[in-house]
Amino acid sequence: MRKMIALLMALMMAAACSAALAEVPSGVEDGVLTVAMECSYAPYNWAQPDDSNGAVPIKDKPGLYANGYDVMTAKQICEANGWQLEVVQLDWESLIPAVQSGIVDAVIAGQSMTSERMEAVDFAGPYLYATIVCLAKKDSANAAATGISGLTGTATSQIGTIWYDTCLPQVKGATIVPAAESAPAMLMAVASGTVDFVCTDMPTAQGALIAYPDLKLLDFAGSGDDFVVSEEEINIGVSVQKGNTVLKDAINAFLSTKTADDFNALMAQAIAVQPLSE
Per residue in 202-217, pLDDT (tens digit) is 999 999 999 899 999 9
Domain 26-129+233-273 and domain 132-220, same fold? Reply is: yes
Query: If one looks up domain 132-220 in CATH, what number appears?
Result: 3.40.190.10
Q: What is the pTM of this model?
A: 0.83
The residue extents of the domains of the chain are 26-129+233-273, 132-220
The per-residue pLDDT of the chain, averaged, comes to: 92
Give the SS3 label for residue 97. Answer: helix
Residue 8, pLDDT > 60, answer no
Q: Are 122 and 21 in contact (CB under 8 A)?
A: no
Higher pLDDT, 171 or 11: 171
Residue % of the chain over a pLDDT of 70: 91
pLDDT of residue 275: 87
Q: Identify the DSSP state of 167.
A: I
pLDDT in the model for residue 5: 40
Q: What value does the mean pLDDT take over residues 97-118? A: 96
Report pLDDT digits (tens) over 50-101. 999 999 999 999 999 999 999 999 999 999 999 999 999 999 999 999 999 9
| Assigned architecture for domain 26-129+233-273 | 3-Layer(aba) Sandwich (3.40)
DSSP label at 86? Answer: E
Q: Do residues 268 and 150 make contact, with C-beta atoms less than 8 angstroms apart?
A: no
Convert the pLDDT of each residue in 157-167 to its tens digit.
999 999 999 99
The pLDDT value given to residue 59 = 98
d(CA 241, CA 127): 18
Q: Is 26 helix (H, G, I), strand (E, B) or coil?
A: coil
